[in-house]
Amino acid sequence: MISSKNVLLSSHGTDGAQAAERAAIAMCETEATIKHLLVVPDLWKDMMGDDWLNNGSTRDRYGRYIESELGKEIDTHISRVRQQAEEKGIHYHCEVILGKPDKCLANACKEAHYDMVIMGSPRPKGVAGLRSRMTTGPLAETISSPLLIVPYPDE
């Protein structure tokens, strides 16, 4: 298996992303570094709706609720990956960004060099859940580090 000392892991907690996390942990040597890039798709900023949120206080309360729920999911996700990394003696740090996943990943690759960039494959058709709409083809052409796209589990 290929081993790496400096990995950029793009992961957001879905089943496919968790497959990428496992691959990243497996590929890293002890004392390696994983930078975990967790992109919250910017489509969430428009989830306020306005049909049924007919006054400012209801809209604000709903916005705080959505932020709180996303924050809890992100904290749980970070804790899981951090624990797996620390158990193997891997240095771990995480950056959470709001934006378009492919653009955020490309920008992170411009800011530093990585031995490997690891991410999960897109969710297969028919599997329930939100699709980030990440375009992997243009991304692979944009970054200079090797890109590993880990297959979706059970495919």
Confirm if 105 and 119 have CB atoms less than 8 A apart: yes
Output the average pLDDT for the chain: 85
Q: 141 versus 17: which is more confidently predicted?
A: 17
Q: 59 versus 5: which is more confidently predicted?
A: 5
Q: Which pLDDT tens digit goes with each residue over 107-139?
A: 999 999 999 999 988 877 777 766 656 666 777
Q: Which domains does the chain have, with CATH numbers?
A: 4-150 (3.40.50.620)
* pLDDT of 43 over the 90 cut: no
Integer Cα distance of 70 and 63 in angstroms: 11
H/E stretch holding 95: strand 91-99
Q: Is 149 helix (H, G, I), strand (E, B) or coil?
A: strand
State the average pLDDT over residues 56-71: 81
Q: Would you state the structure tokens that stand for residue 144, as one six-digit string?
A: 């200079």
Which residue type does 56 have? G
Q: 80 versus 140: which is more confidently predicted?
A: 80
